[in-house]
Structure 1
Amino acid sequence: MKRILVTGGAGFLGSHLCDKLIKEGNEVLCVDNLYTGSKSNIHHLMENKNFEFMRHDITFPLYVEVDEIYNLACPASPVHYQFDPVQTTKTSVIGAINMLGLAKRLKIKILQASTSEVYGDPEIHPQPESYKGSVSTTGIRACYDEGKRCAETLFFDYHRQHGLDIKVMRIFNTYGPRMNPDDGRVVSNFIVQALKGEDITIFGDGSQTRSFCYVEDNIEGMYKLMNSRDGFTGPVNIGNPGEFTMLELAKQIIELTNSKSKLIFFPLPQDDPMQRQPVIEMANKELNWKPKINLTEGLQATISHFQKLLF
């Protein structure tokens, strides 16, 4: 049995990771400042003797004894990370420094939940890990994009300078139960609007594409990366290479919810990428991982979650 620290553990992805780690027979220390995370996501774990929750902001040092660290702490949706952009950058950069310092002191393995946003608005499509990205340092998304890029730099410098055992995962769009209905992400936005019978808001003309990975597939990839062979650091893309336009997504959600919602269009936000699709050959080869749950199946489970939440 390992004692494993999960920062951001009360969030959407973090809570599912806590479930997975408990199921695999580990003790979990879940750390979250509850800025975007919620105790409701981990309520079912609170009575588990192998689970512990600590309210803490990782921009401040943390002194605990653990065997592994998964660093997931950071608001991940534009609505949340743009609300306090300075704090978003601090969480990515200072938080990474604090967690890397802890891993260095304890001589343990640490995984960084990075993001496909490090690729920015990509000039090549789809995106392999070798692509260096096209990112604005001055735009409204830079607090998140550049914060995560800097965190990756810190991870690899700690690896080179201190011999730290690191794993870096680039997460593409992920969806599923426990998403925050107000997080501003496209899947949750469309589902909530469709269930309420409201107009579905599409930014741009709806031709921009995303690749959507169901949360169970994402967490399986994360777990396999942490337990991958010694010396394999990544970065590795974890996402579903199935590519859909915003129009296709909206129409499928309307059909699955039997909604009468209509589509309305607004201007595209600044620096919003037009394309996003992962190359997952490295994950397949190194982790024996590929997504198993298709979009329709995943949307049905997510819609069911939101129906219970809203009604």
Structure 2
Amino acid sequence: MKKVLITGVAGEVGFPLCENLLDLGVDVFGIDIPQERTSERIDMIGRNALFHFTPNKIEEVDWNTMEQTDVIYHFAQTYPASNRFSELKELIASHQRNIKNIVSFAEVNHTKVILLSTIEVYGNTYQQITDDTKPSPTSLYGTIMLAEENFLSEYSRVGDLDYVILRVPFVKKIAHPIEEHCRNIDRTEQEKVSNQNMEFINGHTIEVQDLLHVLIAAGTTNNVKGIVPVPGQTTDNPSYSIKSTKFAELSVHL
């Protein structure tokens, strides 16, 4: 990888990934909304000549002006204020438009797309998760991310695009805004299911640095494509296990 694009570059995962890639000498093009809570991060990475910042909502990006890159890491997400159908419908439609624009750009430039998703797309009943396990989300966050995955898969099939979807467990010491917001809604509107979901996902966690290694490996190797369930560190009594051939192939490059 010589050039990458990160949507949500000032976020909880986008920022440390950007720092790591810049340290490796990679040109990073970042998209994010300037906010008070992330301005210090943008200022910090903005001092590096290899960093190029587009201060826009992803919905407002003019993709015709974006630089060609080898990989796009897609982290930028918006989240609903409630579980109302009309609000979720608009949010998912917005995500669909964003994915369509990203895929269109990637196809023209022969760029790989990497989407960071969640283990929550599987729901909370599976004891073992493999490459072939079917998703069945019971949480709001899992449902939203599965829709995002489906849009990427659908648009990518049309143009035979190279993409990787990483379904990762709970990331330790990170307050991911969309994840936290969706969980708060679940706690309010479906407390019992929410508790079951939390018990399930707490069986595996992943450190930020380990996640960054996975993301970089996914960007550098051409051998792993499609959906990859990512295992993490397990508790004494994990609620599920992961057996993924694709992750085993990816881990060779970690």
What range is the shorter-chain TM-score in? Answer: 0.7 to 0.9
Mark the CA change 1:81 to 1:222 in structure 2 (over 3 Å): closer, same or farther. Answer: farther
Counterparts in 2 of 1:156 and 1:204: CA distance versus 1, 3 Å = closer
| Residue 131 of structure 1: aligned partner | 133
Displacement of 1:8 in angstroms is 0.9
> Which whole-Å CA distance do the structure 1 matches of 2:19 and 2:243 have between them?
25
Partner of residue 95, structure 2: 92
State the 1:135 CA deviation.
2.6
1:211-236 deviation digits (Å, cap 9, x = unpaired):
11110001101111122234x31311
CA shift in 2, pair 1:206/1:31, >3 Å: closer
- With over 3 angstroms needed to count, the CA separation of the structure-2 counterparts of 1:29 and 1:126, relative to structure 1, is same
Asked if residue 156 in structure 1 is aligned to residue 158 in structure 2, the reply is no
Tell me, yes or no, if the aligned pair for 1:3 and 1:27 is still in contact at 8 Å.
yes
The structure that has the greater radius of gyration is 1
Q: Per-residue CA shift, 1:272-304, capped at 9, x if unaligned?
A: xxx86451533542112699xxxxxxxxxxxxx
Pair 1:118 & 2:121 matched: yes
CA distance in 2, matches of 1:282, 1:7: 28
Please state whether the residue corresponding to 1:145 is helix, strand or coil.
helix
Check if 1:240 corresponds to 2:197: no
Contact kept in structure 2, 1:128 and 1:280, CA below 8 Å = yes
2:171 is the alignment partner of 1:169: no
| Number of the residue aligned with 2:191 | none
Unaligned 5+ residue runs, structure 2? Answer: 182-193
Distance change (3 Å), C-alpha of 1:149 and 1:61: same
Q: Mark the CA change 1:179 to 1:98 in structure 2 (over 3 Å): closer, same or farther.
A: same
Residue 72 (structure 1) aligned with residue 65 (structure 2): no
* Paired residue type of 1:32: D
Normalization by structure 2: what TM-score? 0.76
1:285 to 237, 243, 248: 248
Contact 1:283 1:289 in 2 (8 A): no
> Does residue 215 of structure 2 align to residue 222 of structure 1?
yes
In the alignment, what sits opposite 1:102?
A: 105
Contact 2:11 2:38 survives alignment (8 Å): yes
- What residue is the counterpart of 1:265 in the other structure? none
| Backbone CA RMSD of aligned residues | 3.4
Which region of structure 1 is more displaced relative to structure 2, 98-107 or 56-65? 56-65
Distance in 2, Cα, partners of 1:206 & 1:282: 25
Aligned to 1:7: 7
SS at match of 1:25: coil
Whichever residue aligns with residue 160 of structure 2, its letter is G
Kindly tell me the number of residue pairs found equivalent between the two proteins: 233
Q: Deviation digits for residues 46-104 of structure 1, max 9, x if unmatched? A: 111011222222234532022121111115xxxx5545745642453222111111111
| Structure 1 contact 72–112 (Cα < 8 Å) conserved | yes
**Pairwise CA distance, 1:27:** 0.9
Relative to structure 1, is the Cα distance of residues 105 and 52 closer, same or farther in structure 2, using a 3 angstrom cutoff? same
Scaled by the length of structure 1, what TM-score is found? 0.64
Match of 2:52 in 1: 52
> What are the equivalent positions in structure 2 for 1:259-274 lying under 5 Å apart?
none
The 1:276–1:155 alpha-carbon spacing in structure 2 relative to 1, beyond 3 Å, is farther
